[in-house]
C-alpha cells in the first residue's frame, strides 16, 4: 500500500513518514500543494495524508480539486486547525477522517488502517488465487485457510504479486511497491523478501521467470 504524505513541516513529515514505513507502508512525501497535485495526478496511491496549511496550494483547495475530478482516493486530514467548523468543513469537502495535531503516531497508523478498511468494505476486494488469499485492508494472509505471518515488506511484495495473479511482475515493479522515494535499495533486497516468502508459503507458490520477474502460481 502506497501513501502520499502531504506535509510542509519537516519534523512532523519525517516522523510520520518513518512511522508509516515501520508499519509496512510505502510512503512518498511532498511538501507543498503543487507537488501534491502532480503526485495525486499519477493515481499511484492508496491513501493521502493531508496537512491543511500548505505553501502554494492550501490543503482544503487541494481536497476540493481532487473530489471535483471525481477522484475517490481516501484522504485523511492531519491538521492543527481544531475548531468544530474546521472539522466539519474538512469532512464536508470529502475527507475520510480528520486527525488533530499533535497526534500520536500509533493512533495515526490505526486511523489510516481504519480508513483503508472502510474503503475495502466499499470496493477493494480480498485478493485470492487458488488457496492463497490476501486481505489488503486487514493486512492478513492465509494459505489453505491457515494464517501466515509475514513481515511488512514481505506482505508488500506478495500484495504486488497478488494484484495480478499469475502475471509476471518485474523486479523493478516489486521494488516500487515496497520502497519509498529516497530509500537505499540494496541490489538483492527484493530477492531477500522473496526468499522468505517462499520459505513461508512454499517454493511452488512463487515462481521466478528468469530474466523477466516473478509470479504467483496457483496452489
Interface contacts to Ca ion, rule CB under 5 A: 8, 51, 53
Burial of 208 (0-12, 13-18, 19+ CB in 10 A): middle
- In whole angstroms, the minimum distance from the beta carbon of 12 to Ca ion comes to 8
Q: Would you say 6 or 116 has its CB closer to Ca ion?
A: 6
- In whole angstroms, the minimum distance from the beta carbon of 30 to Ca ion comes to 12
- In whole angstroms, the minimum distance from the beta carbon of 210 to Ca ion comes to 48
Q: Which three cell numbers stand for residue 201?
A: 508459503
Q: Would you say 53 or 166 has its CB closer to Ca ion?
A: 53
Q: Would you say 81 or 111 has its CB closer to Ca ion?
A: 81
CA angle 72, 19, 53 (to 5 degrees): 55
Mapping DSSP to helix (H, G, I), strand (E, B) and coil, where does residue 201 land?
helix
Q: Strands 132-135, 140-143: parallel, antiparallel or unpaired by DSSP?
A: antiparallel
Buried b / exposed e along 143-173 (16+ C-beta atoms within 10 A)? beeeebebebbbbbbbbbbbeebeeebebeb
- In whole angstroms, the minimum distance from the beta carbon of 23 to Ca ion comes to 22
Buried b / exposed e along 93-121 (16+ C-beta atoms within 10 A)? bebbbbbeeeeeeeebbebbbebbbebbe
- In whole angstroms, the minimum distance from the beta carbon of 79 to Ca ion comes to 8
Q: Would you say 28 or 51 has its CB closer to Ca ion?
A: 51
Amino acid at each position: 500500500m502506497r501513501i502520499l504524505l502531504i506535509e510542509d513541516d519537516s519534523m512532523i513529515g519525517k516522523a510520520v513518514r518513518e512511522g508509516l514505513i515501520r508499519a509496512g507502508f510505502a510512503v512518498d512525501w511532498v511538501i507543498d500543494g503543487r507537488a501534491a497535485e502532480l503526485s495525486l495526478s499519477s493515481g499511484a496511491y492508496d491513501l493521502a495524508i493531508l496537512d491543511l496549511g500548505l505553501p502554494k496550494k492550501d490543503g482544503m483547495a487541494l481536497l476540493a480539486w481532487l473530489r471535483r475530478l471525481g477522484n475517490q482516493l481516501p484522504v485523511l486530514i492531519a491538521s492543527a486547525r481544531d475548531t468544530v467548523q474546521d472539522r466539519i468543513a474538512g469532512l464536508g469537502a470529502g475527507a475520510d477522517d480528520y486527525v488533530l495535531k499533535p497526534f500520536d503516531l500509533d493512533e495515526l497508523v490505526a486511523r489510516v488502517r481504519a480508513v483503508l478498511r472502510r474503503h475495502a468494505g466499499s470496493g477493494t476486494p480480498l485478493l485470492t488465487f487458488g488457496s492463497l488469499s490476501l486481505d489488503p485492508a486487514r493486512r492478513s494472509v492465509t494459505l489453505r485457510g491457515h494464517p501466515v505471518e509475514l513481515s511488512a515488506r514481505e506482505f508488500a511484495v506478495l500484495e504486488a504479486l497478488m494484484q495480478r495473479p499469475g502475471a509476471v511482475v518485474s523486479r523493478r515493479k516489486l521494488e516500487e511497491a515496497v520502497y519509498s522515494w529516497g530509500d537505499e535499495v540494496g541490489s538483492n533486497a527484493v530477492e531477500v523478501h522473496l526468499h522468505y516468502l517462499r520459505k513461508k508459503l512454499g517454493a511452488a507458490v512463487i515462481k521466478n521467470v528468469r530474466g523477466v520477474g516473478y509470479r504467483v502460481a496457483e496452489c
